[in-house]
Structure 1
């Protein structure tokens, strides 16, 4: 069922409950008297529910859902929840291919980043937050403050991004990483879109699709 239809036309949804109740009862081969005995709801009330003459209430629907062994959502035809899959959309950020892996509001967001090898000189930046990084393939050179280290494939690093830092592919091969960036002291419900734009600022360049 279309979620917009259910939300915009609640009366239409209620109208469909009666026929659904009757279909469930007949499928079980039960009479109105059988259901009345099992639920404590009178036969006349059950009949009026099925014919749409009685507006269904929660106190009536709960015992009927138990009797017919269906969820309350199934009984009233509630819309399905949204698709939990994240639609991956690669973006170019400061010469790197960035894919947002999270979309829900929150203080932490995850990205998959393809880091191409480059001869550019490191340019350290700092900003509020913390970063966790896992190297999927290749090698990453990471500079945090006065520490200059190489992270191999399968290794993890985490650091406070308030300390000046920079990372890039080490050697002549591209690298691929998973990274989780968390904000500190910022608005709790940061959207995934705003977080991606913030990542562009972190990497030092405006974002382009």
Structure 2
């Protein structure tokens, strides 16, 4: 179909990977996808799904729209499209192709009792808006409540989800290249000769 945005996905995925000088094995290590799955996606032998495209978009530092070459609308507003993945709903809050990106997560309670830890390149900052978030990070297993924050290197095995039978709402800021959040605690001191603007 001529207007199918996924028609040229395979060659686009190959170009993104080779432009970053990555092998299929390296992409597999960063996404958790098998080399055979990645190879079939690039050759057109495997139909792309959201579960496959999300980790690839993160590794390549592009939005999902850019990954599938969706047509530009010319509208400067961000039209956040909720994504159903990882046991909840993820709403992208930024529309930039790379660098630090922000998301809102609504996580539903899971039935599994033992979390599966994940690792990938990057740095993540989490802020709990509502509910109780369980974060398993390496040897640490902590519960965060509303207003609490965690930040960590995503190369450390990690998992997060509901700490009880209630959903969790949280914000996350993710830097795929390991960028960290920088928060200024107080304004800079003014120099003695500085004048008021007003």
TM-score, with length taken from structure 2: 0.50
Q: 101, 110, 113: which one pairs with 2:105? A: 113
Do structure 1's residue 96 and structure 2's residue 88 form an aligned pair?
A: yes
Do structure 1's residue 167 and structure 2's residue 179 form an aligned pair?
A: no
Runs of 4+ residues over 6 Å off in structure 1: none
Supply the distance in 1 between the matched residues of 2:131 and 2:76 (Cα, whole angstroms): 31
Supply the distance in 2 between the matched residues of 1:97 and 1:104 (Cα, whole angstroms): 20
Aligned length: 105
The superposition leaves residues 65-104 of structure 1 with CA deviations (integer Å, 9 ceiling, x where unpaired) of xxxxxxxxxxxxxxxxx64431111110122101111111
The superposition leaves residues 19-38 of structure 1 with CA deviations (integer Å, 9 ceiling, x where unpaired) of xxxxxxxxxxxxxxxxxxxx
Cα separation, partners in 2 of 1:132 and 1:146, compared to 1, 3 Å: same
Q: 118, 125, 128: which one pairs with 1:132? A: 125
Matches within 5 A, 1:1-209: 83-120=75-112, 121-184=114-177
Supply the distance in 1 between the matched residues of 2:178 and 2:108 (Cα, whole angstroms): 32
Segments of structure 1 that go 5 or more residues without pairing to the other structure are 1-81, 187-209
Larger Rg: 1
Supply the distance in 2 between the matched residues of 1:96 and 1:83 (Cα, whole angstroms): 28
Supply the distance in 2 between the matched residues of 1:93 and 1:129 (Cα, whole angstroms): 19
Q: Which has the higher contact order (CA 8 A, sep 6+)?
A: 1
CA apart distance, 1:107: 1.3
Supply the distance in 2 between the matched residues of 1:156 and 1:94 (Cα, whole angstroms): 20
Q: Which has the higher helix share?
A: 1
Instruction: Tell whether the 8 Å contact from 2:132 to 2:168 is kept in structure 1 after alignment.
Output: yes
CA apart distance, 1:175: 0.3
Cα RMSD for the two superposed structures: 1.7
What secondary structure is seen at the aligned counterpart in 2 of 1:99?
strand
Supply the distance in 2 between the matched residues of 1:168 and 1:95 (Cα, whole angstroms): 8
Supply the distance in 2 between the matched residues of 1:166 and 1:122 (Cα, whole angstroms): 6
